[in-house]
Chain A
Amino acid sequence: MADFTSGFWNWYVALITVASIAGCAILLWSQSRYKIRVGQDGQPEKTTGHVWDEDLTELNTPMPRWWMGLFYLTIVFGIVYLVLFPGLGSYAGKLGWHSTGAYQAELKQADTDFGPLFARYASQDLKAVAADPQAHAIGERMFLNYCAQCHGSDARGNKGYPNLTDPDWLHGGEPETIKLTIMAGRIGQMPAMGAALGSDKDIEGVAHYVRNLSGLTADPVKVAFGKAKFGACAACHGPEGKGNPMLGAPNLADKTWLYGGSADTIMETIRKGRTNTMPAFGDFLGEAKVHVLAAYVWSLSNPAPSKPIDEKVAAK
């Protein structure tokens, strides 16, 4: 509860609160009876004696007694509340209630409510889960919540964020591998190769060579020049540039380019390197949920033959 460097403000708040409550009680008690002048007939006069604007007077029309009771009740309520719940400075309250605790309790409740459903899917094979319409709908909602920020609502990715709907996978596209990726995250590391390759001309050559691998237009002279230099890249991307899922090294011989396939972009990638991170969701979501999510992601690039997405079922 060390919200402040000194305890002064706790006492400040507590004192004002207590004084206000006490003040209300005193005010209520002192104002519940009133001195009124006695008239000629020996009875108290009907007005309180207040006169405004020359001739406006205040009649003494008593309020109902239960009304005053309600006021006292609010004071009692306030005291009980301040004893039980936090409110007086840094005093934590007898019940030990805390908003973090309330949040945890809600999470726990949600886990009890939905846990059995996820547990049922967790015991199934990922491909079986992918074929389950309800799991698909759940997976879609989770994807929109947790994945769409980077990979897009349609899962087709962005610059630097892989497209999840094509058969091209940096770390492997088997259901279990996808699950591992979501659970533990990935770090993709392309080192800066500018210095290792040498001059700008070398880098340009390699760029044209890998464009040629993908079947993109490239200058044949530069391609031949770059081929000689590609050895530095082959350690990770393989001698034929087909990549290595064990290292997360992309296949350079296909048309998928994470950061763009123009010669300029490829040269920038070689010169400066690239680092990208897929965060780990294992701790955050728990394995059971990741299981359903992984099945959904796998189904994006492996749609069931008859139905791309069964709209009617998914709407449920």
Chain B
Amino acid sequence: MSAPKEAVVKMYAAREEIYPREIQGRYARLRWAGVWLTQLVFYGLPWLQWNGRQAVLFDLGARKFHLFGLVLWPQDFIYLAGLLIVCAYGLFMVTAVAGRVWCGFACPQTVYTELFLWIERRIEGARSARIRLDRQPWTFEKTWKKGAKHAAWMAVALWTGFTFVGYFTPVHTLVREVASFSVGPWEGFWVLFYGFATYGNAGWMREQVCKYMCPYARFQSAMFDKDTLIVTYDRARGEPRRPGARTVGDTAGDCIDCTLCVQVCPTGIDIRRGLQYECIGCAACVDACNGVMDKVKKRHGLIRYATENALANNWSTAQVKARLLRPRVLAYGAVLGLLVLAMTTSLALRTPLKVDVVRDRGSMGREVEDGQVENVYRLQLMNTSENTRTYRLAVEGMPGARIVGADVVALDGASARGVPVRVRAEGGEGGSHRIAFTITAIDDPAVSVREEAAFIVPR
């Protein structure tokens, strides 16, 4: 008996270039709507002004996040966590209902790839022309076309990087710095780095980001069930596939094997092989197939959004919709709704004043005249509103407790300050006593914070 033959195979392979064919149709229009919507917001937001400053500015140096009328401080980090959880549950719910629609229509990777592909088509031409161009040797035509394409890509990428940094450095300052070649080292780094990431991901990496790098693409299968909308090929209707016209009594299916669905696929798969992990649910194949069905005068929907159950049981749209309110979706929806409610309530009700009471550690408590005792505190006050405010400080909790010296403090809008405060009270039993500071804005008594502290009487 001879040993089985063996061959050495490589565990790593070069990527095969994908040339997605341009497609028109309902879902392509929807995707372009996604591109416009997300990119108008992304590119436009930094230019918006609000009360004499940039409307959305994440000022890392000053540790203040401005969001229109809202100023968030490092202490408000919980809202960022909340926002991320809301986003996550939003994604979970959408995925449970309609699969990877985020991936197909709104994800930055898809959106920028769409933009870059548009540029590519304008310069290098349609799919067949691009394939031909890549195969031919380096002629003058190829050189200028490739050069022009990459120059255009880089311009978009740099503008994207510039916009990104514009969220952290006021964009008008950034324009001046770029114009005078005085961009700071970190600003320069991030413009180039973010630009490079855009250029690399949307120009070169494309579907590989979704296939090999994106964690969401990997764990969303956990959100899928048999009632989740996915892009599907109606095998029963399409098979057996065969090119050419159909005659009466033909047993061939509706699929004419034109392979357009494969040519338009941005991840290079054949949807007719069923649900695959590469599919980003962009429905380009749906558009392509519907166009072909129009030409051969058949019904739309040989490839369509459908659920596994709908396909298996021949459900109507109404039946599919009826399955929308299943426990999984309701649970995601309930958690999402509660979180949004909690976040907005908490944001609306939060007091624009933060107080930390720091007892002086050097002294326990000093005796002053008439047997009274004095403790010293540092009140770390933070005015998180945008206006200058004056606050009255008060203290209670001990017999005769009062603040000695100034009990009125003014703070500029969005500023912080440590205020030394002396509290005097009747002496009494030695040891620690609970007292409480109340800090109230003079112009608005609703802005008031109560903070407990310890008052120490020497034994």
| A contacts, CB < 8 Å to B | 31-38, 44, 60, 62-68, 141, 144, 148-159, 161, 308-309, 311-312, 314-316
Q: What secondary structure prevails in chain A residues at the interface with B?
A: mixed
B363 within 8 A of A: yes
Question: How many angstroms between the C-alpha atoms of A65 and B406 in the bound complex?
Answer: 70
Task: Of the listed stretches B8-16, B330-338, B342-350, B446-454, name the one at the interface; the rest are far from the partner chain.
Answer: B8-16
**CA distance in complex: A136, B409 (Å):** 16
* Complex alpha-carbon distance, A308 and B405, angstroms: 10
Closest to A153 in B: B420
- Tell me which residues across on chain A come within 8 A of B9, comparing CB atoms: 33-36, 44, 60, 62
B5 A149 Cβ-Cβ under 8 A: no
Among B25-33, B113-121, B312-320, B410-418, the stretch in contact with A: B410-418
Q: Are B408 and A32 in contact (CB under 8 A)?
A: no
Q: Evaluate contact between B212 and A64: CB separation under 8 angstroms.
A: yes
A155 to chain B, nearest CB (A): 8
Q: A309-B406, A315-B412 are in contact. Are A44 and B417 (CB under 8 A)?
A: no
Number of interface residues of B (CB under 8 A): 38
In the complex the two chains form, is A65's CB within 8 Å of B14's CB?
yes
20 A-B contacts, Cβ less than 8 Å apart? Answer: A32-B10, A32-B11, A33-B10, A35-B8, A37-B7, A44-B9, A62-B11, A64-B14, A64-B208, A65-B12, A67-B12, A148-B360, A149-B361, A150-B362, A152-B376, A156-B366, A156-B376, A311-B410, A315-B409, A315-B412
Contacts of A155 in B (CB 8 A): 420
Question: Of A62, A159, A311, A316, which is within 8 A of B10 by CB?
Answer: A62
Q: Across the two chains, which residue of chain B brings its CB closest to A71? A: B12
**Assembly CA distance A34 to B362 (angstroms):** 69
| Contact B363 A66, beta carbon cutoff 8 Å | no
Contacts of A156 in B (CB 8 A): 366, 374, 376, 422
Q: What's the Cα separation between A44 and B7 when bound, in Å?
A: 6
Docked complex: B392-439 residues within 8 A CB-CB of A:
405-406, 408-412, 415, 417-418, 420-422
Residue B233 lies at the interface, judged by CB distance under 8 Å to chain A: no
B377 within 8 Å of A by Cβ? yes
Judged by a CB distance under 8 angstroms, whether B4 is at the interface is yes
Of the candidates A65, A161, A316, which one forms a contact with B362 in the assembled complex, judged by CB atoms under 8 Å apart?
A: A161
Residue of A nearest to B213 (CB): A67
Residue of chain B at shortest CB distance from A154: B420
Question: Cβ of B12 and Cβ of A62 under 8 Å apart?
Answer: yes
Are the C-beta atoms of B378 and A153 separated by less than 8 Å? yes
Closest chain A residue to B412, Cβ basis = A315
Contacts of A315 on B, CB cut-off 8 Å?
409-412, 415, 417
A308 touching B406, Cβ below 8 Å: yes
Q: Which residue of B lies closest to A64 (CB)?
A: B15
* A311 and B12 within 8 A (CB): no
Query: In whole angstroms, what is the CA distance A153 to B361 when docked?
Result: 10
Most buried by A among B7, B8, B12: B12
Closest to B358 in A: A153
| Shortest Cβ distance from residue B361 to the other chain A in the assembled complex, whole angstroms | 7
Q: Which residue of A lies closest to B4 (CB)?
A: A37
Smallest CB separation, A65 vs chain B (Å): 5
Residues of A within 8 A of B411 (CB): 315
The residue that B409 contacts in the complex, of A151, A157, A159, A311, with Cβ under 8 A, is A311
Q: Closest approach, in angstroms, between the C-beta of A45 and any C-beta of chain B? A: 9
Are B410 and A31 neighbours in the complex by a CB distance under 8 Å? no
A66 and B410 contact, CB distance less than 8 A: no
Chain B residue with minimal CB distance to A35? B6
In angstroms, Cα B332 to Cα A245, docked, is 76
